[in-house]
Chain A
Amino acid sequence: MKKVFLQGLTIIVLFFLTWFLLSQIDWYTIFKIKKVTDKTEEKLGDLFWNILQKTEKENKNTFVINVIDSIVNKICLANKIDREIIKIHIINKDEINAFALPNGHLLVYSGLILSSENQEELSGVICHEIAHIELNHIMKKLIKEVGLTALISMTAGNNGTEIIKQTVKLLSSSAFDRSLEKAADIKAIDYLVKSKINPQPFANFLYALAEKENESDKYFAWISTHPESKERGKYITEYSKTITIKYEPILSLNTWDKLKEKLLNNKSKYFKTF
């Protein structure tokens, strides 16, 4: 009996040993899996952004771009994120929305900036979206919902514009898994804290959104794509309570007000054309 037991144990140990030894090899590099997915992501990002450029109006105002850039620069520098990866685009649209596309394209709607009470709220949302990029949530979501084969086929130009548009819509107006949202929230707080930005206003922003959840207003896109805002606000508050650090503003109050003013001016100009 003892002999049988020892022989069985040997087989189990042998299997786990084989697995352990094989795990030491970087199969991703050997099979060039990373290279293929990286290339697909790069092509998809550009493809989606090209489609969006045709339908959305990008804000090219140097002041607005510089201000948002300075927030993103500070976050990236403090968190050792490669700034080259994040490609910020500010879109002139009333929708309160921000979302990430493959290959680090991050779209921030002017409606979101205008509805933010302060720079910390906006920084919180930006950090949340950067977290999605850094944690590779965008490609994960696309592979899960669309499939890798369909994505590769898109990059090869085998799919119609309508399918690509639908995929972009999936990213801009549908939520990630609850676990992925929570992971991005937690990561966002880490980014905020390391950048010496107070995370509490971000939690307050989520509370404020939660109150508007029932209004089902078409302008509150970020609410519908980020459900359970109240619960999220709660755990962000709890998490940030454990952190004791002296926070510093990135922008002066004057710059923040001027940014909003510029966007408001742009908005009125936009409406005047109609």
Chain B
Amino acid sequence: MINNTTFAYIPGEHEAEKASNSYLMSLIVLIAGFPLPIINLIATLIFYLSNRKGTYFVRWHCTQALLSQLSVLFINSYAFWWTVSIIFSSEEMTSRYLAYLLSAIIFNIFEFIATIYTAIKTRKGIHVEWWFYGSLTNLICKAK
């Protein structure tokens, strides 16, 4: 799911720190934004926008950190609105709903672990590519 590969060039200390911060940013908002999933995306988006003129390594990892939010954004948004409809409408709490919540939690845990791992590795200057999001980032983020 996560591959340690070599980047086009060896990133400098300052670059590694910034790239690693993009994951830490998404990690913090993942905790804060769990009840309101859109917060995750907004915070990572702000970090991405402020670093879009950075070096290739920084841009690449900011993009991957942003894109990796997508799956949990959809999963958590659906869980959030489902919960709201149970509380405020006639919708009933079912085993199907509980199964969804558990699936969402499992995916969030995976995302959480992967984010911590990537933040540590990137801080050391190691290039980490995620399954799907890494390939997607390669398509979007090109060296200038």
Contacts and interface: CB of A to CB of B under 8 A. Distances in A.
B88 interface: yes
B131 A27 contact: no
A1 B88 contact: no
Nearest to A29: B95
Contacts of A245: none
A217 B127 CA distance: 78
Interface in A158-187: 177, 179-180
Contact of B139 (A4, A15, A26, A33): A4
Given A28-B95, A144-B88, A22 B139 contact: no
A269 interface: no
Interface string A119-156: 00000000000000000100010001000000000000
B132 A15 contact: no
Chain B contact residues: helix, strand, loop or mixed: helix
Nearest to B97: A27
Interface in B85-132: 88-90, 92-93, 95-96, 98-100, 102-103, 106-107, 131-132
A140 B98 CA distance: 18
Given A7-B132, A10-B132, A144-B88, A18 B95 contact: no
What class of interface size applies to chain A in its complex with B?
A: 20 to 34
Given A15-B75, A179-B90, A23 B99 contact: yes
Contact of B95 (A27, A140, A177): A27
Contacts of A4: 132, 135-136, 139
Contacts of B90: 140, 144, 177, 179-180
B94 to A, nearest CB: 8
B135 A27 contact: no
Contacts of A33: 93
Contacts of B4: none
B71 interface: yes
B103 A22 contact: yes
Contact of B99 (A1, A22, A136): A22
Interface string A1-27: 101100110110001001100110111
Nearest to A16: B103
A31 interface: yes
What class of interface size applies to chain B in its complex with A?
A: 20 to 34
A140 B92 contact: yes
A11 B102 contact: no
A26 B100 contact: no
Given A1-B139, A179-B90, A22 B102 contact: yes
B111 to A, nearest CB: 11
Interface string B43-78: 000000000000000000000000000010001000
Contacts of A23: 95-96, 99-100
A31 B135 contact: no
Contacts of A177: 90
A7 B131 contact: yes
A1 B138 CA distance: 10
A1 B139 CA distance: 8
Nearest to A176: B90
A256 B96 CA distance: 47
Contacts of A22: 99-100, 102-103
14 contacts: A10-B132, A11-B131, A15-B71, A15-B103, A18-B103, A18-B106, A18-B107, A19-B103, A22-B99, A23-B96, A27-B102, A31-B98, A140-B92, A179-B90
Given A11-B131, A23-B96, A28-B95, 11 more contacts: A3-B135, A4-B136, A7-B131, A7-B132, A7-B135, A11-B71, A15-B75, A18-B103, A23-B100, A27-B99, A136-B92
